[in-house]
């Protein structure tokens, strides 16, 4: 039987996130952009372990490829990243320091093409790890990307169909509908938030066994 204590906390988080979105409807794009920050402050940073840092910016790999602007980068804490001078919180991340990427949209159905383009631009970048121990699948070369919409599609089938059309996206969450679909899981209701967290935990946990070589970017 699902743990009702966890369920109740997730229900509260879903209510908070839905309220944030409702308060931004009809406001300027700058204000709506605050939904991304709210998703970090009110959800990710409160649920994931404090070893992770969350930010926005570009990712580059040791070959010199670059992703373009990303909404949320979940930063692995044992590799460096660089601030962008004059750009506030924006950073340049080494591919090995990017544990995962999350694209956060007001309406994922309307902005799906934007998420797909971002995922396709990120996909060619490769993480190069040194010695590692195997945890699950072990550290992967490709940086996993998830898409989140405060609103969007209303059925599991529609999410699954769109996810299948873009193999570069690992999972999709629609907060108000309470639906999460990924390559490995499906969750509904408040458990949809937990589905995303479980997958993020899986892909980030595998990196704890991997070593990085920042010197490769200077050679």
- Least Cα distance to 143 among 163, 128, 123, 129 occurs for 123
pTM, two decimals, is 0.91
pLDDT at 192: 98
Parallel/antiparallel/unpaired status of strands 171-174 and 145-151: parallel
- Domain map of the chain by residue range? 4-210
55 burial via Cβ count (<10 Å: 0-12, 13-18, 19+): middle
Q: Give 10-residue mean pLDDT values along the chain (219 residues).
A: 93 93 68 78 92 92 94 88 79 93 95 97 90 57 95 96 97 97 95 96 77 80
């Amino acid at each position: 039987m699902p743990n009702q204590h966890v369920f109740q906390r997730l229900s509260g988080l879903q209510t908070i996130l839905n309220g944030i979105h409702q308060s931004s409807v009809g406001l300027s794009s700058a204000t709506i952009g605050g939904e991304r920050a709210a998703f970090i402050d009110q959800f990710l940073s409160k649920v994931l372990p404090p070893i992770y840092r969350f930010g926005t910016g570009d990712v580059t790999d040791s070959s010199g490829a670059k992703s373009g602007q990303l909404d949320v980068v979940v930063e692995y804490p044992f590799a460096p990243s660089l601030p962008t001078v004059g750009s506030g919180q924006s950073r340049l991340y080494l591919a090995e320091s990017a544990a995962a990427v999350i694209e956060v949209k007001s309406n994922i159905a309307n902005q799906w093409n934007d998420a797909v383009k971002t995922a396709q631009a990120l996909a060619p970048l490769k993480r190069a790890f040194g010695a590692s121990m195997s945890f699950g699948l072990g550290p992967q070369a490709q940086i996993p990307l998830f898409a989140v919409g405060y609103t969007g599609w209303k059925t599991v089938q529609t999410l699954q169909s769109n996810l299948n059309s873009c193999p570069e996206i690992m999972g999709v969450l629609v907060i108000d509908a309470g639906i999460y679909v990924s390559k490995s899981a499906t969750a509904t209701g408040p458990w949809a938030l937990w589905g995303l967290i479980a997958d993020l935990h899986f892909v980030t946990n595998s990196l704890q066994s991997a070593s990085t070589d920042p010197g490769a970017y200077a050679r």
